Amino acid sequence: MMAKTGDTVRFLNSVGGGRIVRIDGNVAYVDEDGFETPVMLRECVVVSEAGDSRAAAPAVAPKEIEKPSKEVKAEPELPIVETEGGDKLNVVLGYEPADIKQLSTTRFDISIVNDSNYYLYFTYLTRGDEEEWTTRYAGIVEPNIQLLIGEMTHADLAHMEHVAVQMIAFKRDKGFAMKRPVDVEKRMDLTRFLRVNCFRPNDYFERDVIALPIVTDDVQLGHDAVSVKPEVIAEAMLTPVERRPERRQVKKVQRQPRTSGGGDPFVTDLHIDELLDTTAGMSPAEILNYQVDEFRKVMDANMHNRGRKLIFIHGKGEGVLRQALMKELRHRYKSCQVQDASFREYGFGATQVTIG
């Protein structure tokens, strides 16, 4: 049953509920003890419809609390099982396309991953340039779950150029180590939602996503940037453009070739975001050529080292880069052995080359 204004609902995937005071598109605004909480309509379960005698009674009436309906009893709260290493916060925001082959028209599911033993008081907000913030989700996220908190289309992108996440971590019914409050704001490059190679494998998602780490092992996204002194920023702004290269190569230093084939494989990530600081002004063909050139540099530097294992991370995407690498291996590096790299270690979209 689709919920409507005036219905009393409870939340499907989080704690809470109340009466729907208004509906905006796919988002319902639910009155919880005098506070409006935005939640996806499909995450609302109707307890009583508008006009129902049960809905007219106060939400906190003793009878309603003492004698919950059978529907509420059918879903008892599951026990919280803590995981090893879960006392460090790891929180990821993920944007997952419904159809990665139709990026210009598909919708995107927005999920929060709470990989920790902590509950999170969590808010997700967005705004466009020169706009005020809009709360897209607010609620409690339970430990060790992935929660769908919203969806968006390309029509929504203009209002999501700036993303903010605020949260407080806590545990229930036991002592715990206090975590610092999280307050993260990031400007999104909206063109990434139109580029297949920007959607990559991630341990928390079955399909390729744009993943935004919010906290990694208790360290907030961009936390170190806060400590930059104003005079350093001013000096950087006054630095002549010619002294600052347009592109900064992240992976220029190669390991010294070994005389034997033993040891760990040499890993090269060929995603363009890992190779260049910006791709402004570059066409897709120029980007591909740059990635292939980087591949050749690594191969040529190791060709005299028989038995050496090289791992090239190229991603899944539409397979354009992988096809280009296979062509190079068939014609230019015929003596080398080629196979898919270990999924467990490198995820989807990696190729292992053994120098022959």
pLDDT tens track for 60-117: 444 344 444 444 444 445 567 788 888 999 999 999 998 888 888 889 999 999 999 9
Element (H, E) at 266: strand 266-269
- Count, in order, helices (H) and strands (E) of the chain: 8, 19
Level-2 CATH architecture, domain 266-354: 2-Layer Sandwich (3.30)
Share of the chain above pLDDT 70, in %: 78
CATH 2.60.40.1600 domain span(s) along the chain: 91-226
Angstrom distances, CA of residue 156 to CA of 153, 193, 196? 5, 12, 19
Q: Is the pTM of this model over 0.85?
A: no
Q: Where are the alpha helices (DSSP H) in 139-258?
A: 230-238
CATH 3.30.1370.110 domain extents, the chain: 266-354
Give Cα 14 to chain centroid, integer Å.
Answer: 20
- Residue 250 is given by DSSP the state S
| 133-155: pLDDT as tens digits | 999 999 999 888 888 988 888 88
Between CA 176 and CA 195, with CA 136 as vertex, the angle to 5 degrees is 105
Sequence-ordered alpha helix ranges (H) in the chain: 53-56, 62-66, 70-73, 230-238, 272-275, 284-302, 320-331, 343-346
Q: Say what the pLDDT of residue 260 is.
A: 37
238-294 tens-digit pLDDT: 544 343 333 333 333 343 333 334 567 888 888 888 888 788 888 888 888 889 999
Q: Does 91-226 carry CATH code 2.60.40.1600? A: yes
What is the spatial distance between Cα 288 and Cα 293, in angstroms, rounded to a whole number?
9
Report the greatest alpha carbon distance in the chain. 82
